[in-house]
Amino acid sequence: MSEEVIHLLLAFAGNLISSLILVLGIYHHVSKRRDFVFTFLLVSSAVFLLCNLLVEVEIDLAFALGLFAIFGIIRYRTDAIPIREMTYLFIVIALAVLNALAPQSNGIVLISAANALVWGLTLVLDRLWAIRHMATKVVIYDRVDLLSEGRRDELIADLEKRTGVQIVRIEIGKVDLLRDTAVIKVHFDGDSQPGHFESQGGN
């Protein structure tokens, strides 16, 4: 086995370990979303291999920023991915690019320290500060009689009964008086109610 292959395998293993610490140790510990764990790990591995194997083709900062631009476009064209999960996706891409393109002259200690800083900051912001992950459902509601300000408690109670989530706040959007329906955004704590996925959109 050539020295280049051994170096690639070791670097790949290092990036995979970094991704596992971030995804399983920090993200999955709170969210329990296996589907996104699958996505994060595969995207991290693919981006790392792409950057590492094409490093001789004058890949620079513009290439890395281009990756972020592509996924930024995906974010605004994809309704099913919550903001928090997209943030983690950006982080795993950043770590993969860092681990693949960082000059070897920096040494493994400096690269490992950079990874550790990212893990630590993510851990503090996501868990130790107990930041709530607010998720949203867009509901087409059929009781417009409860939309008046004086019946807000009744409205929330009815929505909680129908949706099965403990509501933090609501936003009333488009009201169709001809069909007696309204578009309502229901905001709830996504971490404490992981069985409900987040939807985006609405008027």
Rounded alpha-carbon distances, angstroms, from residue 110 to 55, 97, 98, 99, 103: 20, 15, 11, 11, 10
Q: What is the mean pLDDT of residues 76-104?
A: 80
111 shares its domain with 174 = no
Could you report the per-residue pLDDT of 177-198, keeping only the tens digit for each? 889 899 999 988 766 655 555 5
pLDDT band at 202 (very low <50, low <70, confident <90, very high): very low
29 shares its domain with 74 = yes
pLDDT at residue 121 in the model: 92
10 shares its domain with 46 = yes
203 located within any domain: no
pLDDT band at 114 (very low <50, low <70, confident <90, very high): very high
27 shares its domain with 104 = yes
The strand order across the sheet containing 134-141 reads 134-141, 181-189, 167-176
121 shares its domain with 25 = yes
- Prediction pTM value: 0.63
Residue 118, pLDDT above cutoff 70: yes
CA-based end-to-end distance of the chain = 59
Beta strands in the chain (DSSP E): 134-141, 167-176, 181-189
Could you report the per-residue pLDDT of 8-46, keeping only the tens digit for each? 899 999 999 999 999 998 888 777 677 788 889 999 999
Number of domains present in the structure of the chain = 2
Give me the residue label for tokens 């764990």. Answer: 37
36 located within any domain: yes
67 shares its domain with 110 = yes
Q: What is the DSSP string of 53-76?
A: HTTTTT--HHHHHHHHHHHHHHHH
77 shares its domain with 166 = no
Residue 96, pLDDT above cutoff 80: yes
Of 128, 146, 175, the residue at which a domain comes to its end is 128
Instruction: Tell which wins on pLDDT, 114 or 149.
Output: 114
pLDDT at residue 201 in the model: 47
93 shares its domain with 60 = yes
pLDDT band at 120 (very low <50, low <70, confident <90, very high): very high
The residue range of the domain holding 173 is 134-189
